[in-house]
Amino acid sequence: MKTIEVKGMSCMHCVGSVEKALSGIEGITEVNVSLENANATYKETSPVDAEKIKEVITKIGFEAGEVK
Ligand code: 9UX
């Protein structure tokens, strides 16, 4: 599993938006977004560029941190 920091989420709707957006990226599965931890965990079924993930998060209005 990989983890990416997601800043700016303040409710469960935000969490749902991020989950939906990340799940829509090819190569990403098992997305789990935590409001409490301000991050998202996911599994890569094929290599995904971290920049692509950050771009998707930014586009829907949140701030993306580092992938760990
Ligand atoms: Mo509700 Mo979460 O407006 O931004 S969707 S706080």
Q: What is the ipTM of this complex?
A: 0.86
Q: Write out the H or E segment, with its range, that includes residue 5.
A: strand 2-7
Instruction: State whether the beta carbon of 14 lies less than 6 angstroms from ligand 1.
Output: yes
C-alpha closest to that of 21 among 4, 47, 37, 10: 4
Q: How far is the CA of 37 from the centre of ligand 1 (A)?
A: 16
Cα atoms in the 13 Å half-sphere on the side-chain side of 68: 8
Q: In tens digits, what is the pLDDT along the chain, a chain of 68 residues?
A: 999 999 999 999 999 999 999 999 999 999 999 999 999 999 999 999 999 999 999 999 999 999 88
The residue type at 3:
T
User: Which atom of ligand 1 sits closest to the CA of residue 17?
Assistant: 5
Instruction: State whether the beta carbon of 35 lies less than 6 angstroms from ligand 1.
Output: no
Structural fold of domain 2-67? Alpha-Beta Plaits (3.30.70)
The residue type at 58:
T
